[in-house]
Amino acid sequence: MSLVRVHNFSISLDGFGTGESQQLDAPFGHAGQQLVQWAFGTRTFRTMGFPGESEGSFGVDEAFASTWGPGIGVEIMGRNKFGPQRGPWEDHEWKGWWGENPPFHTPVVVLTHHPRPVLEMEGGTTFHFVDADPVAALEKARTLAGDRDIRIGGGVSTVRQFLETDLIDHMHIVIVPIVLGRGDRLWDGLEGLEQRFDIEATPSPQGVLHLVFTRRTVQ
Amino acid sequence: MSLVRVHNFSISLDGFGTGESQQLDAPFGHAGQQLVQWAFGTRTFRTMGFPGESEGSFGVDEAFASTWGPGIGVEIMGRNKFGPQRGPWEDHEWKGWWGENPPFHTPVVVLTHHPRPVLEMEGGTTFHFVDADPVAALEKARTLAGDRDIRIGGGVSTVRQFLETDLIDHMHIVIVPIVLGRGDRLWDGLEGLEQRFDIEATPSPQGVLHLVFTRRTVQ
């Protein structure tokens, strides 16, 4: 059975996966780039097109960042990750934050209550807009992924919903040592989550903490 | 100038320093011993009288735990750390959770709106009940501590108040990988705290994370 995986998902010390007031020029709201800055210097993110001065690092941050892609057949993302609009689509001009050639290179299931035709991008990324709960969305994703794994790409409420329904097998969370104060909290409603996972922690010289959650095999 | 320090202060992944429903037989409420279990196996906590089977460990957990005592001249604690009672003292029988010989061996300032005579215990611990804000409490503590350091002993709201007023120089926080869901959150109201501190993280083989906050020198 293919795995359901979360990668490179950053939260603040106080558990916020995004700040308040997401906008076109601020995908993480008032958090700015603080939550994702650790990743921008890695080889993996440089290769995805994130700007930077070097060719990218190969330390522990890269080691974790690079597990993002291999084996993945499809990503599931919430509509808030796809864009800042809410409610019915006013037009179909918005094609995500990532330009004409998004870094996914696989089908991407975008969860939304508002249908829209399949959107084919360059480089193998196709956005499928689906109105479904996590179980049904995963079923749809599996038909697109074949025997490869499914990545839950966020945002916060999407990851939380998949955790609530116990659909996640592997989860890589990065704690960034900042106190955001406002935004969407990852852990809300997940009391006792640790009983379902083995958890391993690794600090990075950059100051972030990589946590790896591995779902325990049911005995 | 003596330092103001926090040591061995444990929080959950979702930032709770204690659970809900503190009671006589449950100082941490529904959290039980989950937040402090990491410390019980250390030499320092065994020496304090916490029960256990071995003589105590000397690994990284002990290395951090043991920094609790040296150089400290007084502890400041909130009333909720002293005991489960609320409101005016109904009697003076309650002398804390720690028995006749508490592990502090210094004066302890207990913050409370309800005065009570100084309480002298065995082994050098004296409880001083003081109705004061953080600045005034610290002033009182310095008169008791001489040139030694002040430890802020908790609970959550006490540490938070001292952080809000920027009175803490050194802080050792232990993140325990559990999701508590309910209780008192340490980080509430502290947005941007990281701008005042350098933060270092060290994982323990037991699975907890030791964070050390060092206040930046004002330039």
Distance from CA of B128 to the nearest CA of A (A): 33
Task: Please report the pLDDT score of residue A218 as a whole number.
Answer: 65
Task: Please report the pLDDT score of residue A53 as a whole number.
Answer: 76
CA–CA distance from A122 to each of A50, A72, A83, A101, A150 (Å)? 17, 18, 18, 5, 21
| Prior bond of A155 cis (ω within 30°) | yes
Question: Does residue A92 belong to any structural domain of this protein?
Answer: no
Tokens of A15: 């558990």
Distance from CA of A4 to the nearest CA of B (A): 21
Q: Say whether B203 and A199 touch across the interface (CB within 8 A).
A: no
> CB neighbours (10 Å) of residue A218?
5
Residue numbers of chain A with a pLDDT score lower than 50:
none
- CB distance A155 to A78 below 8 Å: yes
Task: Please report the pLDDT score of residue B187 as a whole number.
Answer: 98
* Residue A87 dihedral angles phi and psi, to the nearest 5°: 75, -165
Question: Does residue A94 belong to any structural domain of this protein?
Answer: no
Model pTM? 0.91
Nearest-Cα residue of chain A relative to residue B212: A177
Distance from CA of A66 to the nearest CA of B (A): 22
**Which of B185, B199, B207 lies nearest to residue A199, judging by beta carbons?**
B207
Task: Please report the pLDDT score of residue B219 as a whole number.
Answer: 52
The counts of H helices and E strands in chain B are 6, 11
Q: Which of B10, B12, B14, B195 to mutate to test the interface with A (most CBs of A within 10 A)?
A: B14
Give me the CATH number covering residue B201: 3.40.430.10
- What is d(CA B72, CA B60) in angstroms, rounded to the nearest whole number? 21
Question: Does residue A93 belong to any structural domain of this protein?
Answer: no
Task: Please report the pLDDT score of residue B51 as a whole number.
Answer: 77
Tokens of A178: 């900042």
Over range B98-117, report the average pLDDT: 95
Interval B130-155: pLDDT, tens? 999 999 999 999 999 999 999 999 99
CA B146 to chain centre: 20
DSSP secondary structure letters along B66-118: GGGSTTEEEEEEEHHHH-S--SS-S-S----TT-SS-S--SEEEEE-SS----
Q: Say whether A192 and B179 touch across the interface (CB within 8 A).
A: yes
| Bridge partner list, A111 | A78, A130
* CB–CB contacts below 8 A, A to B: 74
Partners of residue A160 in chain B, C-beta under 8 Å: none
Tokens 């080691």 -> residue: A63
Tokens of B96: 């804390």
Considering its fold, how many domains does chain B have in total? 1
- CB distance B138 to B76 below 8 Å: yes
Task: Please report the pLDDT score of residue A95 as a whole number.
Answer: 93
- What is d(CA B100, CA B102) in angstroms, rounded to the nearest whole number? 6
- What is d(CA B90, CA A35) in angstroms, rounded to the nearest whole number? 49
Nearest-Cα residue of chain B relative to residue A195: B178
Over range B64-72, report the average pLDDT: 96
Among A195, A179, A213, smallest CA distance to B180 is for A195
What residues make up the domain containing B200? Answer: 4-90+99-215
Interval B168-192: pLDDT, tens? 999 999 999 999 999 999 999 999 9
Task: Please report the pLDDT score of residue A84 as a whole number.
Answer: 84
Confirm whether the ipTM is greater than 0.90: no
Q: Which of A10, A13, A182, A213 to mutate to test the interface with B (most CBs of B within 10 A)?
A: A13
Query: B23 pLDDT band (50/70/90 cuts)?
Result: confident
Distance from CA of A90 to the nearest CA of B (A): 35
